[in-house]
Chain A
């Protein structure tokens, strides 16, 4: 192989291309609870440090993305002597089934917890079928 040993100049792009962030900050995947009710799917995400202004929820095709931006705090005249967690932005995406009624999605933020209700579309709600006799 004549190319062997030569320094590779260009790096091949990954497919799909992974988007890099312009903000040089760590990104964490928030931990979530997801449960299903009869009429909706509920997503609860722990995102300490975000409020209704800094959280962003998008639904593109069938990918639901939750992002949140957090500004790390620093205290003047203080030095950190013990650290167990790091502050950063949040991002997590879920593929949801097409059966969600997009127009009625509800989201709220309270005490750093994001709560999303994804109502199921009318047509997929379980229909009880009566069984006739005779």
Chain B
């Protein structure tokens, strides 16, 4: 392999390798919880318990009917659209900081989800999705028999 920079600064190989190892470690640490998000709206928090996972998102000003939540296996997809205020003739913006348009986020959970029991609640601009762990995916306890 041709690594000119690394060979020239021979002393650099060590810390560089260390950084790469750390990066791999971080990726491995998070890979079970989520995959790289294509976009960062809406921001989400993921809580995991033994029986279920809770995903919360801040999406103010949404019509709950225009949000789409779907679960396949261990993957959750959250999509929707936020309407833009249409200004009439003669009206003008002083500031426009809020974002509009369509958004889609896909997250991979650390376990399979029982899609029938998923619950979503939208209150005060915050979305909370409860995703119970699928029964067949729960860890099985093995009883040890004594002779």
Contact = CB atoms under 8 A, between A and B. Distances in A.
Contacts of B50: 77
A48 B124 contact: yes
A112 B98 contact: no
Interface stretch (B10-18, B19-27, B88-96, B112-120): B88-96
A112 to B, nearest CB: 2
B12 to A, nearest CB: 33
Contact of B98 (A36, A46, A50): A46
A121 to B, nearest CB: 18
Nearest to B91: A37
Contact of B125 (A41, A79, A113): A113
Interface string A28-65: 00011111111001001011111100000000000000
Contacts of A111: 60-62, 122, 124-125
Interface in B79-103: 85, 87-88, 90-98
Interface in B46-78: 46-51, 53-54, 56, 58-62
Contact of B97 (A33, A80, A110): A33
B61 A113 contact: yes
Interface stretch (B1-9, B37-45, B138-146): B37-45
Contacts of B90: 37-38
A37 B58 CA distance: 29
Interface residues of A, number: 31
Interface string A69-113: 000010101111111110000000000000000000000001111
A80 B47 CA distance: 4
B92 A35 contact: yes
Contacts of B87: 35
A38 B126 CA distance: 33
B94 A49 contact: no
A78 B47 contact: yes
A79 B46 CA distance: 8
Given A35-B91, A46-B61, A84 B97 contact: no
Given A79-B48, A82-B44, A84-B44, A112 B126 contact: yes
Interface of A: 31-38, 41, 44, 46-51, 73, 75, 77-85, 110-113
Closest 6 A-B residue pairs measured CB to CB? Answer: A112-B125, A48-B125, A112-B60, A85-B43, A84-B43, A78-B47
17 contacts: A32-B98, A34-B94, A35-B92, A36-B91, A37-B91, A46-B125, A47-B60, A47-B125, A48-B125, A50-B125, A75-B49, A84-B44, A85-B45, A111-B61, A111-B62, A111-B124, A112-B60
